[in-house]
Structure 1
Amino acid sequence: MNEPMYGPVNIAALLHRAAGRTPDAPAVCEGAEVLRDFSQLAERARAIGAALLREYGLRPGDRVALAMRNTPYYPEILFGVWWAGLVATPMNARLHPKEFAQQIEDCTARVCVATDELMGPLREHGLGSAVLTSVAELAGAAEQTGGEPPADVRPGDPAWLFYTSGTTGHPKGATLTHANLAAATACALADIGRGMDASLLHIAPLSHAGGLFGLAGVARSRPQVFPRGGAVDARALAEALRAFGPVTFFAVPTILRRLLDPALLPDDLVGQVHHILYGGAPMYTEDLRRVIARFGARRLWQGYGQGESPATITHLRPEDHEGDDAEALGRRLASVGRPRTGVEVRVVDADGREVAPGTTGEVTVRGDTVMAGYWNNPEATARTLRGGWLHTGDLGRLDADGYLTLVDRAKDLIIAGGSNIYPREVEEALLRHPAVAEAAVVGAPDPDWGELPVAFVVFADGREATASELDQHCLGQLARFKRPRDFRFVAALPKNSYGKVLKTELRGVIGRSPHTEPERG
């Protein structure tokens, strides 16, 4: 593993340095209240790290699982784990207790720290040999004694086990080292730039990209702001924005679409939004145009990444969201931007050979942000990191200007009669119909064609369309063989907590009777 691009070896030294540089600056806030300055946050992290070693008997390199919703205690616990030279395993707070247990067992965590609402379900289910402790219990064990700096670690030592979302198969723990996190932090500071010159409002889970962007906020000595009670509602957002705005926040497309509603974010508070960092799931062009119309292009920054290269593969800059050339702008908005600082991106064929611009292939990535491998899974590591490149499993194409357009996940590609159909292209076409709010397209087995596309459609409020109308709409925009052969009208699409549509669930219901089946051809 290469040396980190930015700053310290132990990533906890980001906080240690911020406390020395700006000790009195607000560090952790809830609602309109400042809870900790940087000096206090660093002392709390040091004390928590010491307690994990002393009271819980951990040793450097041991794993600490975090089953925690967003809470103002999150930063001090996360940094406390690193301060002691331990490995953090932040987990999605919306997992089932069985899923928590699977991840804890996989990484052999010795301690699991949980927020109050998860303590009962986790205790009832059982976590094997891991000790379950609440945030309050850990805080009570953390004594305010001494002032040791962060533990010595090597750049290649694990710091964060980032478990994949598990939409298919068993989740795997991407091993992110201290060097990986330092590189990702440096990359965020370089590429987001002035977007980090604001308070950071946490409305997305800190267990994933929200927490990674939080590292850049600490490096820049910016306040970490939590809506009161963890709520993403009009009252909590207004309180935080008025107290600490303008704010920068990360949002998945599902939340970003909600913020288009003035009932959640009134028009008079839009000016308190400094930058919106978005990603984590596909952002369709029609939705993005509505976001631009409300917030303005210069407030928007899109990041494309995976847990294996955390939130750090390509980016669409604010200036990429605007332009006088409508055709060129449309191509950019349909893309996920250009490679991040210090990151190489190639598109390759099935044999690993780089393909020409405009040709679809698998997206591969190389750089200091790429994981060391999957925890305790050498076979999956070898498959994914073959040839020294991260093979993302995403299909895409690079244009002559270096912009990457994602076509689909390789596993979602539909092959009908030997012709490739990319579901995202069909979904984009459906979303241009005024009655369609959301759409997801999957392949259904067919004895004659191999596979045929099936569209699951959610209507916009107060609107609807017939299958025949949607079929004609698609015929006006797509080659005939690409259009859906079956439309399923549903109240909502199944999604994980990060807004990704669970297409495996949709494939599971395809065998039920269709609403319609337009003729083939």
Structure 2
Amino acid sequence: MLALFAQRGDQYMLTNVGHLLTKRAAITPHREAFVEWERNRRFTFSELNTRSNQIASVLLTQGIKPGDRVATLLKNGIEFVESYFAIAKIGAVMVPVNWRLVSVEISYILKDSAASTLLFDAEFDNTVDELQSGKRGELPCQHWLRCSRGEAETPDWAQDYDELTAKGDISEPTTGASGDDNLFIMYTSGTTGHPKGAVHSHDGMLWSQLTSMSTSDMRGDDRFLLALPMFHVGCLNPTSLLVHRGATGVIMRDLDMPGMFNCIDAEKISIFMAVPALLQFMLHAPEREQCDISSVRWIATGAAPVPVSLLDAWAKLGVSIHQAYGLTESCGPGTLLLPEDAASKVGSCGRPQMHTELKIIDARGKTIPMGSDEPGELLLAGRHMMKEYWNNPKATAEALIDGWLHTGDICTWDVEGFITICDRKKDMVISGGENIYPAELENVLAACPDVQEAAVIGIPSVKWGETPLALVVAATGASPTNETLQQWCKDHLAGYKVPQLYKIVDHLPRNPSGKLLKPKLREQYPGPAPF
């Protein structure tokens, strides 16, 4: 049998995330591992492990070696799960791509990561066609694997994922990686307009899972709804955790309110993740009265504090809310506000999770003591922090200093150790749980012929928590409208990044050195948005 454990002194430790599935399949082979809700496809841990080995065999046959990057442009589905574990088993590095991005953004990620293979869903044929159009020689991808899912015939330049997988070797691959070797590179939007690839190791993900298991009540008989996009660390982490714990994941390919309620009812979901905006929508959805959601024990949420009224409303339904703070660079975990503390610590994101250390520093780098009202930058440390930003030593040096991850978030720390985020140093807007960086939007708007300059700020939104407001100075002789500006942004940005609100202004406030005064803009345009 394949040796799953690496010897470290007198101890033996499982060090490859892919081998979590191997081990789980040996322990509970016939337990239901994952369910595809829309297609009612069900897989035991044994079946999932076999499929994972088959795709691993396919990748090895195509010449993928340990350390090679394999990109995925996949919506939620069993293909994402099995390819994740397959890539890990052979020591390659997964690059999960946000399928909401436009082709130029995806092209940048493929080039920057030097991905040699792209696994993509058939519904993204048009996007991949754009990537291929006149640029095939410019992209690093040598293999294009298409998950047809019953769609039209696979084009000549691609290979059919399902056909190849069915022919793959079911035995465990003998090549692999462990410990500090890279597991995945997850790209986050960059404050300078270019995304940065946060690199995480096998050890990092294992410690992330240990951290989550130490502070959350997940049981082997739980059924976890995976409705958030799997390319997010907020969904990739639980996907791994479910296998580690031996619980069942129920996958929703597309998030819609009726489908979500029906899924919770039919599959007896006990845990799921949702941003506060979604929790609010769910309370007022007509399906809530039509479906039985009594199986739900608790919900994990993040991105923004949950109002007491929302906590109380879910508590009346017998559901507790776990409020977490984390980021891609921390592989998920950071702080956690438990239900028993939520009422007395409104607005807080909790205390540091197990295996996670934190401190707060002032502008001079001096540590601010717990119990001080002075705000400072939040720093995190732990075995689950990222290793680096891929191909970006400058950004790495700025983010990782003496073992501490500088989050860029400004917070306070009360006498009991509870953290409250009060500002974002990086100027980020969080809209519906998605991170939107104004600099990227400003760069796109500045490239519009009708625009002289632009600034983007976040304003409060009842529906989304925050939404971007674009303040635009028109170019001489131009008369841009909301419609023309929005269409320009739609042509150059992923849909969720496109501002819905625009305001034409005479000028933007700047200091004597020419620096844009964002605080002044926030004072002038406090919101809220009309939605």
Shift, 1:203, TM fit: 1.0
From 330, 337, 355, give the equivalent of 1:342. 355
C-alpha contact 1:196 1:248 (8 A) present in aligned 2: no
C-alpha contact 1:26 1:37 (8 A) present in aligned 2: yes
Q: Tell me which residue corresponds to 1:104.
A: 110
> Deviation string for 1:321-340 (max 9, x for gaps)?
34xxxxxx1xx120110001
Q: Tell me which residue corresponds to 2:475.
A: none
User: Are the structure 2 counterparts of residues 266 and 132 from structure 1 closer, same or farther at C-alpha, using a change threshold of 3 Å?
Assistant: farther
How far apart, CA to CA, are the structure 1 residues paired with 2:180 and 2:389?
14
C-alpha contact 2:57 2:168 (8 A) present in aligned 1: no
How far apart, CA to CA, are the structure 2 residues paired with 1:236 and 1:50?
35
Shift, 1:271, TM fit: 1.2
User: Are the structure 2 counterparts of residues 362 and 295 from structure 1 closer, same or farther at C-alpha, using a change threshold of 3 Å?
Assistant: same
From 216, 222, 232, give the equivalent of 2:247. 222
Q: Tell me if 1:129 matches 2:140.
A: yes
Q: Tell me which residue corresponds to 1:261.
A: 284
How far apart, CA to CA, are the structure 2 residues paired with 1:337 and 1:27?
31
Q: Tell me which residue corresponds to 2:365.
A: 352
Amino acid at match of 1:408: D
Q: Tell me if 1:30 matches 2:36.
A: yes
Q: TM-score with structure 2 length normalisation?
A: 0.74
RMSD: 3.6
How far apart, CA to CA, are the structure 2 residues paired with 1:12 and 1:62?
16
Q: Tell me which residue corresponds to 1:148.
A: 172
From 41, 51, 60, give the equivalent of 1:44. 51
- Within 5 A, what are the aligned runs for 1:462-477? none
Q: Tell me if 1:18 matches 2:29.
A: no
Q: Tell me if 1:88 matches 2:113.
A: no
Q: Tell me which residue corresponds to 1:316.
A: 337
Shift, 1:132, TM fit: 2.5
Amino acid at match of 1:135: C
Shift, 1:38, TM fit: 0.4
C-alpha contact 1:198 1:274 (8 A) present in aligned 2: no
More displaced, 89-98 or 233-242?
233-242
SS in structure 2 opposite 1:109?
coil
- Within 5 A, what are the aligned runs for 1:120-519? 120-126=126-132, 128-130=139-141, 131-136=143-148, 137-142=160-165, 143-148=167-172, 151-166=175-190, 168-194=192-218, 198-208=222-232, 209-227=234-252, 230-266=253-289, 268-279=291-302, 281-283=303-305, 285-286=306-307, 289-296=309-316, 299-322=320-343, 329=344, 332-356=345-369, 357=371, 358-412=373-427, 456=459, 458=461
C-alpha contact 2:110 2:140 (8 A) present in aligned 1: no
Amino acid at match of 2:222: A
Structure 2 unaligned residues grouped into runs of 5+: 1-7, 149-159, 439-454, 464-481, 509-520, 526-531
Amino acid at match of 1:334: G
Shift, 1:196, TM fit: 7.2
User: Are the structure 2 counterparts of residues 38 and 240 from structure 1 closer, same or farther at C-alpha, using a change threshold of 3 Å?
Assistant: same
Shift, 1:292, TM fit: 3.5
SS in structure 1 opposite 2:14?
coil
Q: TM-score with structure 1 length normalisation?
A: 0.75
How far apart, CA to CA, are the structure 2 residues paired with 1:85 and 1:37?
24
C-alpha contact 2:90 2:173 (8 A) present in aligned 1: no
Give the length in aligned residue pairs. Answer: 436
How far apart, CA to CA, are the structure 1 residues paired with 2:288 and 2:15?
40
> Deviation string for 1:18-51 (max 9, x for gaps)?
1011100111212283521100000101110110
More displaced, 118-127 or 61-70?
118-127
Structure 1 unaligned residues grouped into runs of 5+: 323-328, 414-422, 428-439, 443-451, 461-487
Shift, 1:89, TM fit: 0.7
